């Protein structure tokens, strides 16, 4: 339970690689600004 409390107290962003590892059955889409600059990653369950 201490690990869960630590995760809640210390949020962090996931990399695209981490998202792929955690959400293996999802497609990861990179949202971009001006068609070139990565803004965010979106998980889509297919």
Quick one: average pLDDT of 25-44? 92
Quick one: average pLDDT of 16-29? 92
Instruction: Tally Cβ neighbours within 10 Å of residue 26.
Output: 14
Residue 3 pLDDT > 80:
no
Q: Is the pTM of this model over 0.85?
A: no
Among 4, 2, 45, 41, CA closest to 26:
45
> Phi and psi for 18 in degrees, rounded to 5?
-65, -40
What distances in angstroms separate CA 31 from CA 7, 14, 41, one per listed residue?
Answer: 26, 14, 6
**Cα Rg, the chain, nearest whole Å:** 13
Residue 10 pLDDT > 80:
no
């Amino acid at each position: 339970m201490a690990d869960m409390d630590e995760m809640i107290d210390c949020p962090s962003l996931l990399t695209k690689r981490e998202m792929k590892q955690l959400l293996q059955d999802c497609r990861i889409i990179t949202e971009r600004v001006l068609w070139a600059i990565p803004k965010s990653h979106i998980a889509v369950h297919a």
